[in-house]
Amino acid sequence: MMRFKIYRFNPETDKKPYVQEYELEKIEPGMMLLDALKQIKEQDPSLGFRRSCGEGVCGSDGMNINGTNGLACITPLADLKSPVEINPLPGLPVVRDLIIDMEQFYKQYREVKPYLTRKAPLPELELKQSPEERDKLDGLYECILCACCSTSCPSFWWNPDKFLGPAALLQAGRFLQDSRDQTQAERLEALDGPFKLFRCHTIMNCVQVCPKDLNPTKAIGEIKKMMLKRTI
Amino acid sequence: MAHSNSTKNISYRRFDTLIIGAGGGGLRAALQLSEADASVAVVSKVFPTRSHTVAAQGGVNAALANVSEDNWHWHMFDTVKGSDYLGDQDAIEYMCRAASKVVYELEHFGVPFSRLDNGSIYQRPFGGQSKNFGGSQATRTCAAADRTGHAILHSLYQQNIRAKTHFFDEYFAVDLIKDDEGNIQGALVFDIKTGDIVVIEAKTTLLATGGAGQLYRTTTNALINTGDGMAMSLRAGVPLQDMEFFQFHPTGIAGRGMLITEGARGEGGYLVNGLGERFMERYAPNAKDLASRDVVSRAIATEIREGRGCGKDKGHVLLKLDHLEESVIQKRLPGIRQTCKTFLGLDPVESEIPVYPTAHYTMGGIPTNRDGQVVTPVKDTPEEPVQGLYSAGECACVSVHGANRLGGNSLLDILVFGRSAANHIITQLQENRFHRRLHQPSVDQALERLFRWNKKGDGESVEELRTDLKKVMDENCGVFRTQEVLDEGIEKVSALAERLKDAVIDDHSDVFNTARVEALELENIMDVALATVYSAAARTESRGAHSRIDYPQRDDIHWMKHTLYFSENRSIDFKPVRTKPLSVDSFPPKPRVY
Q: What's the mean pLDDT in B114-142?
A: 97
Distance between CA atoms of B56 and B25, rounded to whole angstroms?
13
Residue ranges of alpha helices (H) inside B44-180 are 72-82, 89-109, 148-162
Is B293 part of the annotated catalytic residue set?
Answer: yes
- Chain centroid to Cα B318, Å, comes to 26
Helix (H) / strand (E) containing A207: helix A205-209
B 365-424 residues inside an 8 A Cβ radius of A: none
Distance between CA atoms of A193 and A227, rounded to whole angstroms?
11
End-to-end CA distance of chain B: 58
Question: Using CB atoms within 10 A of its CB, is residue A229 exposed (0-12), middle (13-18) or buried (19+)?
Answer: exposed
Q: How far is CA A115 from CA A118, B240, B412, in A?
A: 10, 37, 21
Torsion A160-A141-B417-B104 (CA) sign: positive
C-beta separation of B130 from B78 below 8 A: yes
**Does residue B3 register a pLDDT over 70?**
no
What's the confidence (pLDDT) of residue B522?
98
The answer to whether the peptide bond before residue B589 is cis (omega within 30 degrees of 0) is no
Chain A: give the shortest CA distance to residue B335, in Å. 9
CB contact under 8 A, A57 and B55: yes
Report the percentage of chain B scoring pLDDT > 70: 99
- Closest listed residue to residue B227, CA positions, set B54, B11, B395, B111: B395
What's the confidence (pLDDT) of residue B90?
98
With respect to residue B347, please indicate whether it lies within any of the assigned structural domains. Answer: yes
Q: What's the mean pLDDT in B515-533?
A: 98
C-beta separation of B319 from B260 below 8 A: yes
- Closest listed residue to residue B423, CA positions, set B369, B377, B386, B383: B369
Amino acid type, A231: T
With respect to residue B299, please indicate whether it lies within any of the assigned structural domains. Answer: yes
In the structure, what pLDDT confidence band is assigned to residue B337 with cuts at 50, 70 and 90? very high
Chain B: give the shortest CA distance to residue A153, in Å. 23
- ∠ CA B77-B81-B85, nearest 5°, is 115
User: What DSSP state is assigned to residue B116?
Assistant: -
CB contact under 8 A, A58 and B55: yes
Could you tell me the residue range of the domain that residue B334 belongs to? 247-361
Going through B473-515 in order, the beta strands assigned E by DSSP cover: 480-481
Q: What is the pTM of this model?
A: 0.97
In the structure, what pLDDT confidence band is assigned to residue B2 with cuts at 50, 70 and 90? very low
Distance between CA atoms of B58 and B506, rounded to whole angstroms?
42
Amino acid type, A129: Q
A 144-203 residues inside an 8 A Cβ radius of B: 144-145, 175, 178, 180-181
C-beta separation of B218 from B30 below 8 A: no
Number of domains observed in the structure of chain B: 1
Question: Using CB atoms within 10 A of its CB, is residue B363 exposed (0-12), middle (13-18) or buried (19+)?
Answer: buried
Residues (pLDDT < 50) of chain A are: none
**Beta bridge pairs of residue B361:** B247
Question: Any CB–CB contact under 8 A between B331 and chain A?
Answer: no
Q: Is the ipTM of this complex over 0.90?
A: yes
Exposure class string for B397-422: b at 16+ Cβ within 10 A, else e: bbbbbbbbbbbbbbbbbbbbbbbbbb
Count of H-run helices and E-run strands, chain B: 16, 22
- Closest listed residue to residue B250, CA positions, set B428, B404, B448: B404
Question: Any CB–CB contact under 8 A between B343 and chain A?
Answer: yes
With respect to residue B578, please indicate whether it lies within any of the assigned structural domains. Answer: no
C-beta separation of B303 from B317 below 8 A: yes
C-beta separation of B156 from B28 below 8 A: yes
With respect to residue B337, please indicate whether it lies within any of the assigned structural domains. Answer: yes
A 30-89 residues inside an 8 A Cβ radius of B: 30, 32, 41-42, 45-46, 48-60, 74, 76
What's the confidence (pLDDT) of residue B447?
97
How high is the mean pLDDT of chain B? Answer: 96
The crossing angle, in degrees rounded to 10, of helices B483-500 and B462-476 is 170
The answer to whether the peptide bond before residue B399 is cis (omega within 30 degrees of 0) is yes
| Residues 6 or more apart whose Cβ sits within 8 Å of residue B379 | none
Helix (H) / strand (E) containing B573: strand B571-576
Question: Using CB atoms within 10 A of its CB, is residue B578 exposed (0-12), middle (13-18) or buried (19+)?
Answer: buried
pLDDT tens track for B402-433: 999 999 999 999 999 999 999 999 999 999 88
Q: Give the 3-state secondary structure of B354-399.
A: EEEEEEEEECCEEEECCCCEEEEEECCEEEEEEEEEEECCCCEECC
Q: What's the mean pLDDT in B163-192?
A: 97
CB contact under 8 A, A95 and B193: yes
C-beta separation of B70 from B64 below 8 A: yes
With respect to residue B296, please indicate whether it lies within any of the assigned structural domains. Answer: yes
Q: How far is CA B198 from CA B133, B164, B166, B190, in A?
A: 51, 21, 15, 6
Going through B266-349 in order, the beta strands assigned E by DSSP cover: 270-272, 317-320
The crossing angle, in degrees rounded to 10, of helices B514-538 and B228-235 is 70
Q: What's the mean pLDDT in B107-121?
A: 98
A-chain residue closest to B192, CA distance: A95
CATH of the domain at B353: 3.90.700.10
CB contact under 8 A, B162 and A144: no
**Which candidate in B293, B481, B578, B592 is catalytic?**
B293
Residues of B whose CB is below 8 A from A115: 109-110, 155, 158-159, 161-162
A–B CB contacts, 8 A cutoff, strictly below: 155
Distance between CA atoms of B166 and A34, rounded to whole angstroms?
32
**For an interface test with A, which of B169, B260, B511, B520 has the most A Cβ atoms less than 10 Å from its Cβ?**
B511
Q: What's the mean pLDDT in B512-526?
A: 98
Distance between CA atoms of B343 and A29, rounded to whole angstroms?
11
In the structure, what pLDDT confidence band is assigned to residue B5 with cuts at 50, 70 and 90? very low
With respect to residue B321, please indicate whether it lies within any of the assigned structural domains. Answer: yes
3-state SS class at B201: strand
Residues of A whose CB is below 8 A from B462: 45
With respect to residue B199, please indicate whether it lies within any of the assigned structural domains. Answer: no
Q: What's the mean pLDDT in B266-291?
A: 97
- Chain centroid to Cα B56, Å, comes to 11
What's the confidence (pLDDT) of residue B4?
47
C-beta separation of A109 from B157 below 8 A: no
Amino acid type, B163: A
Report the percentage of chain B scoring pLDDT > 90: 97
Q: How many residues does chain A have?
A: 232
**For an interface test with B, which of A44, A55, A108, A109 has the most B Cβ atoms less than 10 Å from its Cβ?**
A55
**Does residue B465 register a pLDDT over 80?**
yes
**Beta bridge pairs of residue B247:** B361
Exposure class string for B496-519: b at 16+ Cβ within 10 A, else e: bbebbeebbbebbbbbbbbbbbbb
With respect to residue B323, please indicate whether it lies within any of the assigned structural domains. Answer: yes
In the structure, what pLDDT confidence band is assigned to residue B8 with cuts at 50, 70 and 90? low
**Does residue B1 register a pLDDT over 50?**
no
3-state SS class at B543: strand
**Beta bridge pairs of residue A7:** A19
**For an interface test with A, which of B261, B312, B336, B343 has the most A Cβ atoms less than 10 Å from its Cβ?**
B343
Question: Using CB atoms within 10 A of its CB, is residue B205 exposed (0-12), middle (13-18) or buried (19+)?
Answer: buried
**Beta bridge pairs of residue A5:** A21, A85
Residues of B whose CB is below 8 A from A141: 112, 144, 151, 154
Residues of A whose CB is below 8 A from B46: 50, 52, 58, 60
C-beta separation of B39 from B232 below 8 A: no
C-beta separation of B331 from B192 below 8 A: no
CB contact under 8 A, A60 and B46: yes
C-beta separation of B527 from B535 below 8 A: no
**For an interface test with B, which of A42, A51, A58 has the most B Cβ atoms less than 10 Å from its Cβ?**
A58
Region of B119 (left: φ > 0; alpha: ψ -120 to 50; beta: rest) is: left
- Closest listed residue to residue B78, CA positions, set B122, B136, B143: B136
Distance between CA atoms of B530 and B476, rounded to whole angstroms?
12
Residues of A whose CB is below 8 A from B110: 115-116, 175, 178, 180-181
**What is the phi/psi pair of residue B121, to 5°?**
-65, 135
